[in-house]
Amino acid sequence: MIEIIKFLTGAFILVGAFLSLVAALGVIRFPDIYTRNHAASKAATLGVLSILLGTFLYFYVRDGELHSRVLIGIVFIFLTSPVAGHLISRAAYNSGIKLWGESVQDDLKLSKTEVTNTKKSKAKKHKKSNEM
Q: What is the pLDDT along the chain (132 residues), one digit of tens a residue?
A: 688 988 999 999 999 999 999 999 999 998 888 888 888 888 889 999 999 999 999 988 888 888 889 999 999 999 999 899 989 988 888 888 777 777 666 766 766 666 566 656 665 666 666 665
Q: In sequence order, which residues have a C-beta less than 8 Å from that of residue 64 and are 6 or more positions away?
A: none
Give how many domains the chain has, as a whole number.
Answer: 1
Q: Is residue 15 part of a domain?
A: yes
Q: Is residue 39 part of a domain?
A: yes
pLDDT recorded at residue 94: 84
d(CA 25, CA 19): 10
Q: Is residue 116 part of a domain?
A: no
Contact 61, 5 (CB under 8 A): yes
Q: Mean pLDDT, the chain, as a whole number?
A: 83
d(CA 53, CA 16): 9
d(CA 15, CA 25): 15
Per the structure, the complete domain to which residue 40 belongs is given by 2-105
What is the crossing angle of helices 2-29 and 44-63, to 10°? Answer: 160
Q: Is residue 24 part of a domain?
A: yes
pLDDT digits 0-9 by tens, 87-104: 998 888 888 877 777 766
pLDDT recorded at residue 125: 62
Q: Is residue 8 part of a domain?
A: yes
d(CA 79, CA 81): 6
